[in-house]
Structures are given as C-alpha cells and as structure tokens.
Amino acid sequence: MALLAHYYLPGLAVEDHAIDVPLDWRKTSPARAAADGLDAGARLRLFYRVVTTPENVGRDLPLLVFLQGGPGGAGPRLTGPDSDGWLPEALRHFRVVLPDQRGTGRSSHLSRHGLARVGDARAQADHLKRFLARSIVCDFEYLRLVVFGGRPWVTLGQSYGGFLTLSYLSLFPEGVAASFTAGGIPHVPANAAEVYARTFPRMAEKTRQLYARYPEDAARVAAVADLAASGDVCLPDGAPLTARRLQLLGSGLGMKPAFERLHSLFDVAFEDGDGTGGKTLTDGFLMGVLQSTTTASNPLYWTLQELIYADGALGEPLGWAAERVYQGRPEFSADARPLLFTGEAAFPWMFEEDPLLVPLAPAMDLLMADVDFDRVYDAERLAASEVPLQAAVYFDDLYVDSGLQLDTLSRVGASHAWVTNEFEHDGLHGTVVFKHLFDEALNRGDLEAVLRG
C-alpha cells in the first residue's frame, strides 16, 4: 500500500492511496493473494481515496465503500462534504472509501492507447474481459483484506454499482456487513435483449414527454436531423454528425433536469434568423453534441455498456443486442420524424464513426460473438444471503427496469426494497435517498453490529 497524499478540502480530510492488483484474477483469489502475496503475473494499479470529516480524523469509524456507476466510471471527485448528496449522511457514520475501478480515473487507465499496446483484436478483446464485474469485485475484496485488516465493510452501489453489489454478494459475502443500492439491481439471470426490449419503449415515452413539454423542440430536432442527413456536417473532432448520433443525446433523459438541458442545447442550434431553423448549425451546438456523446473523459463507457450483461452462465453471445432491438422498432429509425432518442445503449456504428472508438471495432465484434465470460452472479448464494441489502428501486427508472429489479430482489435473501417514483435514476445524488435507506436499515436493526464495531 502506498500513501500518495494526505490533504484537506473544505470540510473533508482526504488520503490518496494506491496498491497493485493482478490483471487476471482467474489465476488466484483475493484471500490467497492477501496471504501469499501477488505472483509475478501482470499487474494493475488500483487507486482509492479514504475520506472523513476533520473532526473524525483518527476515529475508528466503520467503513463504507462506494461502488461507482457506469460502467467505466471513476470514483467521484469531491470539492467538499456536500459535493454529492449521499455523502454528508455517510460521513456522519463512516470512513468513506472511494476507489477508481480498474481502467478508470487514476487506477491503471484503459483507453484506445493502452489497448493498442496489448496486441491484435483477439488479445484486446480478452484484455477488455478483465475489466468487468468479477475483476472489479476481486480488486475491492483484496483491498479490504490487505489494507483494512479484513474488516467487513458496508457497500453503497449507485446504478452499475448495484450490479457490482450482487456480484460481491455472490463471490465474497463474508466481506460485506450490509449493502445499499440505488437504481441498480440487475436481472438475474442476465439477459441484454430482455433489458433493451423494456428500455426502448421507455425511451419513446421519454421523447414524447420532452416534445409535449417543449413542442417547438420536435421541429428543431427534426430540422437538425435533416441537416445531418445531408452528410456535410461534422462535429469538432471530425466525426460526422448523423441523425443516429443525435439520438444518443437521449442517454441522459433518465436524470433531472435532462429535459431542460436538451431544450437549452437545441435552443441555440441554428445560426440563422431567430433560431427556429436554418442551414447552418452553431459551433456551440456542435460542441455541445460532442461533449454529450463522446467518451473522451470515460473511454470505457460505451465499450463496456453491453458487456455488463455478459455472464458465462448464459452460454450465448450478446450479438449487439441493443442494435437488434433497435432494428426491430421502426419508430426509432433515423429517418423517422419526430426523431426519437435512444438511451444507454451501444451500437456497432459508433465504432465505425467515432474516432475514439474506431480502433476498438475489431475487438468489439469479437466480444459480441463471444461466449467465454466470467460467471458474474451466483443465484443460489444470493438466495441464501444473510447480508442485509436495502435497495432503492425507482419505479420509473429509465435504465434499470423496476419490474426486473423487484423480480431479482424477490430471490435475494435478507433484501428489502423501497419503491418510489419521486426520483429519477440519479436520486442518490440528492440528500434524501441514502438517508432514507440508512434509516430503514438502522430501524430494522441491520446496522447494529456495524455501528457498534
């Protein structure tokens, strides 16, 4: 373990650390590696922060590890105790551990540059497999054993962090004292096509809601899409602006205030006249589209998007499931008007047009045809779980279907669901959700052993 820095932010005491972890956990286990040391195989660097309030420095508070959403998302970068809505309540009770999942942030970073050094497409595809849930959870369990003395910790999973939570409970339930999730219970068994079959109708409805709130936007979006169809418009990085690239702007429609953000973006789309239409798009609009759809700051987001549903237990390839569902719904055609937006779904054309993704196309095609993936969930172990799990299930969640979440939770031992339609998918970032989950677990007695130490 290396202490890289110790410093204070307003209202926070922060330590930056890093440790080495194996690239490939199939050759060992966290417990064996913790007991015997790492072997000579390839390693990655795992970066993490430990955060507390200044008045709690030196106190032996219980641990809460935050499982970041994504996929491919780094841990939150804090500016103070109020920089994320769940944090103030968590800091009252815990030392908070904020890891950067492998491949993200200050952990060994993975992008097109690093993959180019790995080898051919097959080698790259196999390398990418090592950046999915099982490997991430093994990293965290090893961190718990080596750095924190094997003390069980509480997990808080946002979105994809909920997927990681069920993987953790499947693999190392002894490492978890209690779990909280928000908008992130996957369906077990995993099935990407089933997820997208439910997601696309919700995206259609979200788009209709957007146009109902801002009727002028339907015409503006159509006018931009028609200009893009000419093939003469490029984004600032040189990628073509197409109608299907515009559709990706819907990926944030499940989080507030997405309607207002999109409305504001299209409000300044045109150079001409009063902005209701024209033949020239503003540079600001084109930059806004690029910033909203690029993976420059999160290289693994679109790359791993569909792979989070890959499970060795399935025995069948993903086969670009989102693309297959998209093709079966003509109302989503790039030629259709009004133009419907798509959500969190990766499509093969993205790896043909986006300069940052083009180098990954051969590896992605191999992965979409592959069936050799790690087992992610253990249904029997989840059913027998005694780890208290408190889940916030957003009834209208755009990305993670509430019905599928509840079906899974009905088969997970010691689990409790709080179903609400008060929040969108990012509800955890407000001040209400985590406190509600914490209080429910506290009043049920699920945290007695944790807080007593």
Query: Along the 453 residues of the chain, how does pLDDT read in single tens digits?
Result: 689 999 999 999 999 999 999 999 999 999 999 999 999 899 999 999 999 999 999 999 999 999 999 999 999 999 999 999 999 999 999 999 999 999 999 999 999 999 999 999 999 999 999 999 999 999 999 999 999 999 999 999 999 999 999 999 999 999 999 999 999 999 999 899 999 999 999 999 999 999 999 999 999 999 999 999 988 899 999 999 999 999 999 999 999 899 999 999 999 999 987 777 788 999 999 999 999 999 999 999 999 999 999 998 778 999 999 999 999 999 999 999 999 999 999 999 999 999 999 999 999 999 999 999 999 999 999 999 999 999 999 999 999 999 999 999 999 999 999 999 999 999 999 999 999 999 999 999 999 999 987
Instruction: List, in order, residues 6 or more apart from 253 with CB less than 8 Å away.
Output: 203, 206, 207, 210, 259, 262, 341, 343, 398
* Pick from 345, 322, 299, 325: nearest CA to 116: 299
- What pLDDT digit, counting tens, does each position of 48-71 carry? 999 999 999 999 999 999 999 999
What pLDDT was estimated at residue 129?
98
- HEC-encoded secondary structure of the chain: CEEEEEEEECCEEEEEEEEEEECCHHHCCHHHHHHHCCCCCCEEEEEEEEEECHHHCCCCCCEEEEECCCCCCCCCCCCCCCCCCCHHHHHHHCEEEEECCCECCCCCECCHHHHHCCCCHHHHHHHHHCCCHHHHHHHHHHHHHHHCCCCCEEEEEECHHHHHHHHHHHHCHHHEEEEEEECCCCCCCCCHHHHHHHHHHHHHHHHHHHHHHCHHHHHHHHHHHHHHHCCCCECCCCCECCHHHHHHHHHHCCCCCHHHHHHHHHHCCECCCCCCCCCCECHHHHHHHHHHHCCCCCCCHHHHCCHHHCCCCCCCCCCCHHHHHHHCCHHHCCCCCCCCCCCCCCCCCHHHHCCCCHHHHHHHHHHHCCCCCCCCCCHHHHHCCCCCEEEEEECCCCCCCHHHHHHHHCCCCCEEEEEECCCCCCHHHCCCHHHHHHHHHHHHCCCHHHHHC
Quick: pLDDT tens for 99-120.
Answer: 999 999 999 999 999 999 999 9
Cα(62)–Cα(453) distance, rounded to whole angstroms? 7
- Give residue 371's pLDDT: 95
List the catalytic residue out of 109, 127, 425, 429: 425
Q: What is the CATH number that goes with domain 2-188+377-452?
A: 3.40.50.1820
Please tell me the predicted confidence (pLDDT) of residue 274: 75
How would you label 328-343 residue by residue, b for 16+ Cβ within 10 Å and e otherwise?
ebeebebeeebbbbbb
Question: pTM score, two decimals?
Answer: 0.97
Q: Is 425 noted as a catalytic residue in this protein?
A: yes
Contact 244, 236 (CB under 8 A): no
181-201 pLDDT, tens digit per residue, is: 999 999 999 899 999 999 999
Sequence-separated (6 or more) residues with CB below 8 Å from residue 335: 229, 243
Location of each CATH 3.40.50.1820 domain in the chain: 2-188+377-452
159 tagged catalytic: yes
Query: How many angstroms separate the CA atoms of 442 and 19, rounded?
Result: 33
pLDDT for the residue numbered 231: 87
From the list 159, 170, 251, 402, the catalytic residue is: 159
Q: Which of 237, 372, 407, 439 is catalytic?
A: 372
